Amino acid sequence: MPTAAGVSRGTLYVVGTPIGNLRDITLRALEVLSAVDCIAAEHVQHAQKLLAGHLLSAAHARIVPLHQHNEDSAAHKIITLLEQGKAVALISDAGTPGVSDPGALLVQQVRARNLPVIPVPGASAALTALSASGLIAPHFFFYGFLPTKSGERQRKLASLKTLYACIPIFYEAPHRILECVADMQAVFGATREITFARELTKLFETIHTCPLGEALDWLQGDENRQRGEFVLLLAPVEEPQQEEISPQAVQILAILQKELPLKQAVQLAAEITGESKKRLYARALLEQKLTSSPP
Ligand code: SAM
């Protein structure tokens, strides 16, 4: 049942807030924030600033902290409020709660109790960066924050090497930007392109694309480029084409293989067809496997 101000009782609203520019907030988000009984916020002060910026200071008394160190206990409190019929808004310091930010645990627990959860969409740094990157691919992969230690970071990056036709998206803190980019170059090579989306929606917003091999020079070319908040996007790469051998070569190889030892069959097939010995050998092994395995 809606309250007088238009939010529903006993409902959790997950509200997206700006990632820098205070005005990047929806009308609906402002309506919800002004109407709910309680706001669960990552940092109370940060929420107060947001509300004050939109002349919603009357809402101050209702802010409760919910951050990564108290999410479980805060979730209990919020669930009690919801069960009492109160409407609660969940916000984080920036962007969308639950995206590299606390909130997912609360939402999970609220949904597990069959209490309503309503999303109020807003900004997210990953999608903001993607939208202005000019990168084209059928898929993108949001990774978020990489591990802080180089060895582990390189291992995680290496596991993304076969993510073909896809744009991997990372978040990174300014004090790790140089080492993170160095690891990216070590894993993906100097020619893969990276896009830096820095300080999005803020005064010093920068969107810069270059090959990974030039990225450290660019960052070090001006100390200011290493400051602020970063989204890093890697250009998509195509899946390497498996070179096929011609159907005629496959047929010739199969005939020779029936009559000759494998090595000789491959040698002769290469001479007759001009195909690479390596590819013919791989095909011969496959043929051998196929014909020796039971039907
Ligand atoms: N929940 C947020 C979202 O929806 O994007 C992300 C929060 S996460 C704790 C913060 C990270 O997001 C920053 O370290 C940075 O990598 C990225 N980020 C947030 N705001 C940004 C901005 N204005 N410009 C570039 N990156 C930003």
- Digit-coded pLDDT (tens) for 237-283: 998 876 778 888 888 998 999 999 999 999 999 999 988 888 888 88
Q: Kind of pairing, strands 230-234 and 193-198?
A: antiparallel
Q: Is 20 in the pocket of ligand 1 (CB under 6 A)?
A: yes
The per-residue pLDDT for range 160-215, each reduced to its tens digit, is 999 999 999 999 999 999 999 999 999 999 999 999 999 999 999 999 999 999 99
Q: Domain holding 110: CATH number?
A: 3.40.1010.10
Among candidate residues 290, 172, 274, the one with its CA nearest the CA of residue 231: 172
In a domain, 240, yes or no: no
Q: Is 124 in the pocket of ligand 1 (CB under 6 A)?
A: yes
Instruction: Determine the pLDDT at residue 79.
Output: 98
pLDDT(225) > 90:
yes
Q: What are phi and psi of 42, to 5 degrees?
A: -60, -50
Q: Is 94 in the pocket of ligand 1 (CB under 6 A)?
A: yes
Instruction: Determine the pLDDT at residue 244.
Output: 79
Q: Domain holding 145: CATH number?
A: 3.30.950.10
Question: What number is the average pLDDT over the span 208-230?
Answer: 98
- What distance in angstroms lies between residue 265's CA and the mean position of ligand 1's atoms? 60
Please tell me the distance from the alpha carbon of residue 35 to that of residue 87, in angstroms, as a whole number: 8
Instruction: Determine the pLDDT at residue 295.
Output: 47
Q: What is the DSSP string of 191-249?
A: SSEEEEEESTTSTT-EEEEEEHHHHHHHHHT-GGGGSS-EEEEEPP-PPPPPPPPPHHH
Number of domains in the chain: 3
- What is the percent of the chain with per-residue pLDDT over 70, rounded to a whole number? 95
Q: Is 99 in the pocket of ligand 1 (CB under 6 A)?
A: yes
Question: What number is the average pLDDT over the span 122-141?
Answer: 98
pTM: 0.84
27, 2 in Cβ contact below 8 A? no
Q: Is 183 in the pocket of ligand 1 (CB under 6 A)?
A: no
pLDDT(293) > 60:
no
Block residue for tokens 């669960």: 40
- What distance in angstroms lies between residue 176's CA and the mean position of ligand 1's atoms? 14
In a domain, 215, yes or no: yes
Which structural domain, as residue segments, surrounds residue 77? 12-123
User: Same domain, yes or no, for 77 and 142?
Assistant: no
In a domain, 275, yes or no: yes
Final residue before a domain boundary, out of 104, 123, 142: 123
